[in-house]
C-alpha cells in the first residue's frame, strides 16, 4: 500500500484500511496450498488442525480455503459435492 493513497484519510479510516489489508508471505501461500491439498486428498485423515498464536491468520486462512473449495464445488456433481461438504463439515444448504 502506497502511503500517498491513504495520507488524506482520518486515523479511523486508516485503521479500517489496515484491518482490511492482507499481506501475503511465501510460507503463507505454501501453507494454503498444503491445506487445500489435505482437503482434496485427505489420505485417511478426517480433520485439518490449525494452531498458532492469536492474530497470525489461522481463521482467515481457513476462510480462504473454504471459499476456494466452495468455488470449486459449483462444478462438481451432487455426490462429490455432498462428500466434500461432509469432509469440510459444511452444508450444501447453507445460504451466504
Mean pLDDT of 72-78: 62
In this predicted model, what pLDDT tens digit does every residue of 11-46 receive, in sequence order? 999 888 888 887 777 888 888 888 888 888 877 766
Per-residue confidence (pLDDT) for residue 95, from 0 to 100? 47
Q: Is 62 exposed, middle or buried (0-12, 13-18, 19+ CB in 10 A)?
A: middle
Rounded to an integer, what distance in angstroms lies between the CA atom of residue 87 and that of residue 96?
A: 19
In this prediction, residue 87 has a pLDDT band, given cuts at 50, 70 and 90, of confident
Span 47-71, pLDDT tens digits: 778 888 988 888 888 888 888 887 7
| pLDDT on residue 96 | 46
Q: According to the model, what pLDDT value does residue 12 have? A: 93
Q: Domain residue spans in the chain? A: 24-96
**35 vs 39: CA distance, rounded Å:** 6
Q: Which pLDDT score, from 0 to 100, does residue 91 have?
A: 62
Amino acid at each position: 500500500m502506497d502511503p500517498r493513497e491513504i495520507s488524506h484519510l482520518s486515523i479511523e479510516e486508516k485503521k479500517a484500511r489496515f484491518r482490511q489489508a492482507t499481506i501475503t508471505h511465501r510460507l503463507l501461500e505454501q501453507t494454503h496450498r498444503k491445506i487445500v491439498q489435505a482437503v482434496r486428498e485427505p489420505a485417511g485423515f478426517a480433520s485439518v488442525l490449525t494452531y498458532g498464536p492469536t492474530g497470525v491468520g489461522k481463521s482467515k486462512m481457513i476462510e480462504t480455503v473454504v471459499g476456494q473449495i466452495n468455488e470449486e464445488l459449483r462444478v462438481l456433481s451432487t455426490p462429490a459435492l455432498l462428500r466434500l461438504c461432509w469432509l469440510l463439515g459444511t452444508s450444501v444448504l447453507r445460504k451466504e
